[in-house]
Structure 1
Amino acid sequence: MKNFRKKISAFLFAAVLAGASLSAAAEELPVEGISSEEASAVEELSQDGASAEAAAAAETQVTIYHTNDTHGYLEGDGESIIGLPLVAGLRNADPDSILVDAGDATQGLPIASLTKGNDVIRLMNLAGYDLMVPGNHEFDFGTDAFLTNAGLAEFPVISSNIYRGGSLLLSGIQEGNSGCHTIIERNGVKVGFFGLTTTETASATNPEGIQGLEFTDEIEAAKQEITHLEEAGADVIIAVGHLGDETAGAPCTSTDLAEAMTGEFYGDLDVIIDGHSHTVENAEVNDVLIVQTGTGLNALGKLTVTVLADGEVEAEESLLSVADFADVTPDAATEELLAQISVSQDTMLGESIGQTATTLWAGWIGQAAPTRFVETNYGNLAADAFADAGRTMLAASGNADMPVVGIENGGGIRAAVYNGNITLGSLTTAFPFSNTLYMKVVTPALLYDVMEVSGSDLDGQDPETGMLLQTTISGGFLQISGFNVVFNPDAEAGNRVVSITLDGQDTPLDREDTETQIMVVGNNYIMSGGNDYTMLGSLPKYAEAGGELETIQSYITANVQDGVLAGYRGTEGRISYTGSVYKPKDYEASVLIKNEDGTPYANGEITYRVDGGEGMKGTTDADGILKVTVSDGGHGIRVSDSQSEVYVDNYTGIGIVVDAIRAMPELTVPEAGSEIPVTEEPDPEPAPDPDPDPEEKPGDNVTADPGENDGDKASDTGKTKENGKAVQTGDEEIMMPAAVLLAAMALSAGAAVAVYRKKRTKESICH
């Protein structure tokens, strides 16, 4: 109908320009084959008393600003994030404009997630939004939380393809809102909007949060809405969809929707304002303009819609970046509320969700970042949380028998949580990227390929201590759950994985197996091909398992027993390194104990804990060095429960050698009365392992110890100062001096002690 009206308008307009009156022109229209409805349209136009000058009036423009997938990035940084106060300021400066959002606004950074999106809606109200369509992540906190937010909104929240109990979900939630479409009039132009939410939401959201919801076919819903809006007299019709392009893996993309506008619907849909794929879209498909801004308020979309005098519609898109807001005054009210929310959330971020008896290790320790080349307990926890979320999703879909494994790139865990309180703030510091968990099906052969990429920067191993002789480290090194992997760091790149064994199995996976199905759960950065995991990026997405941060928070809460996180003291041998000679074994770590004045605590008795365990007794040597025998891998050591632990690890070399990369771990003697109590005598030190069988091949009889699961490679060397201390930022390669590497390669377990003796001056130990 809309297309027919355009044709009539064009005919009449041409006749008027030729000097005829509207009524005379109408009489010349062919009537054969015209329906009664179309004839009424002719009559309506012929009865129009507008003059020829009015019919030939100048074209009319409407500006529509749009956002999508902001995920809580509402505070500008002056460089890459625009911030909501500036968006609101632009809206103020252009009061005849329209501001819409295409979904995923209420989940992500703490400002969004801590109040389940409530604070985001309050800010959007102040910013002057005219319309919002729910994305899949609007349901991360459940349907009731979403409907609460929709009821709070002072603008229509619409989606035409979400039903519950046979009724449109959003119908009646807001007074005067149909729940599926709306018409906004600007400059005499009626702009009709309808909403679409990807049907992928049914498999991309925690099933508990969307029980009873039905997500119907996007194309059929769109055709129905176009008909309704035409009948309501819309001059322009725009779909605001959370669909995405082909990279999102949704069953119906924005391109699919545009291409479906054929036959009687051709030319009726003018624009699709899109979201979901976090990509920039600006292309015309089948006479429909498709636009999207990316993610995180890095850009604001400016859509200029022009209605010509003959009724035809033209649309043009441009992206506005931070630089384009140089002359825009931020909206004071939005800015003030944002500041108030930030202050109130500081208290929430400081709230404890449990205690950890030992440090969850991640981030940078001096010049080393353990999660980027060795197993850590925080890496285990994150990967376990992912795998657990995947199993829940599979169980809900009746496919609980498929093996599930979790992976997390080491560069994606940005900071440790030290022994003591686990707070929301500490979790958001560790996981700041608002990633989404993707589920994809792989085979054993593909999993071997994935782990070869993970071990691609391994560069040899000291045969005695096990220390890895790295020249670079990678944010793409994977922390894992559901399986163990054995690496040979001395092997050639592409052939370093000795074996991969699923939990509960004794036989390693067959590297040539391309049939067996294994479900992998990881964040969208890795699963979309980041850090060279192109083999994962090319796979179709099976489902989404929720937000990364929210999943980890829920997993920790579920594993807190009597207020304390259970199960993550030390590492478990999920990732082991055979080298050509080295076999996992106990080792002796060294920690410098100092007095309050900084002098060595020499020849003194002291008690300590390893990984938050029982109190142990020890004695420092003449240089203040406490030697502690620990099992293979990383551990936390403290000499007072009021202090943060220090990290030791034979694979990273921390606590084994001191060089340009690795500093000596240091602790201060506790004040009187704060010593760690010892309830029983420590076990005698284990005898050293016998010499390995000289006929044994590398990798023989090596198994993982039984037990309890957006960082680019080479970009974290930049440093800033915080509280007078160096803080690592970015993700750049760490280069070890050749001389240091050669010295490290020559070390033996005894030589490591000798290194400490050579370095035991105060000046060298504290560098």
Structure 2
Amino acid sequence: MLSYSYQIFQRGGIIMKYNLKKYLSLMTAIFLVLLLLPIRVWASTPISILYTNDVHCGLEGYSKLAAYRQSLTDAGISTVLVDAGDHVQGELIGTMDQGESIIDIMNQMNYDYAVPGNHEFDYKVPQFLSLMNRATFKYLSANFKHADGTDIMDAYAIKEIDGHKIGFVGICTPESYTKSTPVYFQDASGNYVYTFSEDTFYATIQAAVDAAKAAGAEAIVAIGHTGMDGSTEEWTTKAIIENTNGIDAYIDGHSHEVSAGPDYTHMENGVLQHYSFFNKDGKQVFYTQTGTKLKNFGELKIKFTPTVQVTSVMHSVADLTDKDSTIEALITNARQREIAFSGTEIGTSEVKLFAKDDDGTWLVRHQETNLGDYNADAYLWRTGADIALMNAGGVRTNVNVGTVTKKDLISVNPWMNQVGVIEATGQTILDALEHGARFYPNNNGGYLQVAGLTYEINTKVTTSPVVEDSKGSFLSVDPTKPRRVQNVLVCGEPIDPNRTYRVAGTFYILQYSGDGMSMFKNCPVVSGDYPPDAEVLIEYMTQKLNGVISAEAYGNKDGNGRIKVVDENRFVEVERVEPTHSAPGYIKYVCEIDGTEKYEELAKLEYRFLEGENGEWAGTDDVLKFRIDGDETDLQNVLVDGVLLTRGTQYTVRHGSTIIELTPSYLQTLSVGSHTMTVVYTNGSVSTTFSVRRAVVGSGRTVATSDNSRVQMWSIACMIALMSLLVSAYYRIKKA
């Protein structure tokens, strides 16, 4: 028992003493009071940030998300709900009222923050600004501004939860210029009046992060619609993280990929690869994205210990059962309005038409598909153009086997983009195809599906030669680099770069430079008097296909072979050495893609007769002339029937290649019939046959001597036979 006094300090000679027992009692009381105060508890329950991205009017998951959020609230867990863009577009319900129904549902869900994705601008900027005012949640973007640099919305927001301040920074992709429609961001004169700060991209984002920290944020969560696979490299989330610091977690969108975190996960050659992203200070930044169509939603859990600790859970909507009845009623009402608008059955499909694979990954953005063919075929049929082009980003969803309604085809092309025809040169079309293939094999909304035309993409060309401006629009094709697109055929014939073709498509790419297709913007318009895109798809099915999408026409998931991918060298001739009679020649080729060289040997030239081959001598005083393509100085010998001839008497030689003339005096010594002459050079020989025949009777010419000898011999033989007969007859008479 402690009852003694303890001296704790002394001042001015006065000694102050405290009873230790009283001191301890006082400390205990103070401690108990502190326990009752609302102080930060570092080992608290994590704060849950629920997040969605690229919902694209996939309403059905919202009611389950709302129910799950309520369950966290009931458990005493604080929540924040955010969206990383592309929510108001993608299906008919979005098109019908230009996103208002989606905003109303998100308001009822009590979203806290959202970032505009590129498709938030598809109904034009004024409509997006109207939706932003309609929203009860706050849109954030550090980099979407007026062209003069003034803000359109807040760059960041700070939310205080459980005594901690979390900063949320919004980031939009500069691809919005081309992944929406460039003219939407311009005035009537074509000047850009809005900017995505692409020239100061990283610095603008860093400034927002720094401002949020200066305002007291203890953790920074970026909500970005920037993406990875298929995104412009310098605007990818990876590039943003590597060129900034201060971001603790990055909720991503745009590329429709699923990554639970902390790493970016990507399927490569059937193997799931993991990539960690580090900021410019070398610190790993937590990365996550939920995919698309609200098949999943994420739950980012932040805990202060006191350092920021981040984990996450990816929730599959299909695995959840509870639904919020209020949200479910809103969804049901929206779908009923869709059906009333477009539920009419228009036919059947014998096959599934693919925009996405069965696992939800894009197909149409990096390869030909039967739905891409269907779209392009519809445009070609309706317009009667030479070719049709369909940007893959305009093909939004699959068409399933069975009954097809208007809604099904409107959901494929939900844009209501005007279909039209322009005139473009073959070279302009080649540039468009090259621009569309610039990101291959990555997904790209500008990848072109075609009709009336076929082309190849050569993957041996690993770097695209396309030159773009700072906003991602086409400028040119670098003439010093090989093109990826080759063997382009229009109706089976090689495309003529100088010829003018009629090109069908939507004005999104043919007039408004959508997906960066600015090469078409000055092409003359032949006609724009056609229905919008979805109506053309409907007319094609009902009028051309008589209501049946057949397996015969569209049964191949990978299309009808209009786009082929090859991996081959493309050689060009750079040197040629012609062969001679003395030596072979060669052709040197160099692959314009990777510099590989190859040689083709040209065989040494064979001697050949230029004149007199298979000639005939008729017993005249004329020579029998032969001309051979050899140099007379290389001539060695001339043989007839293997017998060496004497130059000067039996034949003569003249210049002019090699001219050999067999003399009449020699020819007269040859028998009637066929003979073989062989001409021998220092480096080869050549042979031909010629014939000798009798002279015409009465011509006054002397026949060949060998013929006279034969006549004389036959005459003598006949005389001997006749004398033998006479002698035999004489002896028979005498005996008689």
Normalising by the smaller structure, the TM-score range is 0.3 to 0.5
Give the TM-score of the pair, scaled to structure 2.
Answer: 0.47
Highest RCO, 1 vs 2 (Cα 8 Å, sep ≥ 6): 1
Q: Which has the higher strand share?
A: 2
Structure of larger gyration radius: 2
Give the TM-score of the pair, scaled to structure 1.
Answer: 0.45
